């Protein structure tokens, strides 16, 4: 006895080919949707960073990377706190991400400049050795030995085009992973009154750990009293 549900009895719209096409369509639709979400999130982040550029330039925010201290003016802090505790913590974390990005960019620029300068110095030393009649082979394992071999430098005084070519060759050899990025570390933040005076007394002081999203905040009077009690 033949089964009632034979392959020929299945309607065309439920054929394996059509089912596969539907699955492919759904998969691609989900991928495009995720890509749109990622693009939207990236655009929002760029807009936020562009806004933070203006806020830092206006002096309402400032960060000292050496002491790891963030200074926030009272009007801006009040605005951020008005949205609730979670929004306040998220704002501090976003500000930290922004400052970390700037530190990473500065560290990358400094590292790149250092490596380019080292490559130029080695090329100048090699050129001087040629001028003195000495044939000096590139240092074994030197990162810019291959770059220097591409140029024929006859004079100890390098031309501007020689220097540019050497720097470009070294820059193309460097990967971002070669640089040690800044550490992700806790920092202090101070809420200060909006004032033009050089010295102002903080209204509140806090601590934030970006690794754990842990935050502690106390008023400056409470901190001063604790310090006073500790010296008694």
pLDDT tens digit string along 141-199?
554 544 444 444 334 567 888 888 999 999 899 888 888 888 999 999 999 998 767 67
Query: Is 125 contained in some domain?
Result: yes
Q: Pick from 178, 206, 223: which residue ends a domain?
A: 178
Look at the pTM and tell me if it is higher than 0.95: no
Q: Is 183 exposed, middle or buried (0-12, 13-18, 19+ CB in 10 A)?
A: exposed
Query: Is 172 contained in some domain?
Result: yes
Domain tally for the chain? 2
Instruction: Provide the H-helix boundaries in 174-232.
Output: 220-230
Query: Is 168 contained in some domain?
Result: yes
Query: Is 225 contained in some domain?
Result: no
**Exposure string for 106-140, b = 16+ CB within 10 A, e = fewer:** eeeeeebeebbeebbebbbebbeebeeeeeeeeee
> Which of the residue ranges 70-79, 160-169, 203-212, 222-231 would you say has the lowest mean pLDDT?
222-231
Query: Is 99 contained in some domain?
Result: no
Query: Is 146 contained in some domain?
Result: yes
Q: Is 163 exposed, middle or buried (0-12, 13-18, 19+ CB in 10 A)?
A: middle
Q: Pick from 157, 178, 199: which residue ends a domain?
A: 178
Q: Sort strands 69-73 and 214-219 into parallel, antiparallel or unpaired.
A: unpaired
Domain membership of residue 172 as a residue range: 107-178
Query: Is 208 contained in some domain?
Result: no
């Amino acid at each position: 006895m033949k089964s009632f549900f034979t392959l020929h009895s299945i309607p065309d719209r439920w054929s394996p080919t059509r089912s596969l096409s539907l699955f492919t369509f759904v998969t691609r639709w989900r991928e495009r949707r995720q890509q749109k979400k990622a693009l939207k999130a990236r655009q929002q982040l760029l807009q936020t960073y562009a806004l933070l550029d203006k806020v830092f330039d206006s002096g309402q925010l400032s960060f000292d990377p050496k002491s790891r201290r963030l200074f926030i003016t009272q009007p801006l802090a009040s605005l951020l706190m008005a949205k609730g505790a979670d929004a306040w913590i998220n704002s501090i974390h976003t500000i930290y991400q922004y400052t970390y990005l700037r530190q990473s960019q500065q560290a990358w620029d400094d590292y790149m400049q250092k490596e380019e300068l080292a490559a130029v110095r080695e090329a100048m030393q090699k050129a001087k050795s040629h001028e003195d009649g000495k044939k000096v082979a590139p240092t074994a394992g030197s990162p810019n030995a291959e770059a220097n071999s591409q140029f024929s430098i006859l004079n100890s005084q390098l031309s501007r085009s020689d220097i540019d070519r050497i720097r470009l060759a070294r820059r193309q050899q460097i990967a971002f992973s070669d640089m040690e990025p800044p550490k992700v570390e806790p920092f202090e933040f101070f809420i200060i009154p909006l004032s033009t005076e050089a010295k102002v007394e903080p209204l509140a002081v806090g601590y934030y750990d970006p690794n754990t999203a842990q935050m502690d905040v106390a008023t400056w009077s409470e901190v001063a009293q604790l310090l006073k009690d500790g010296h008694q």
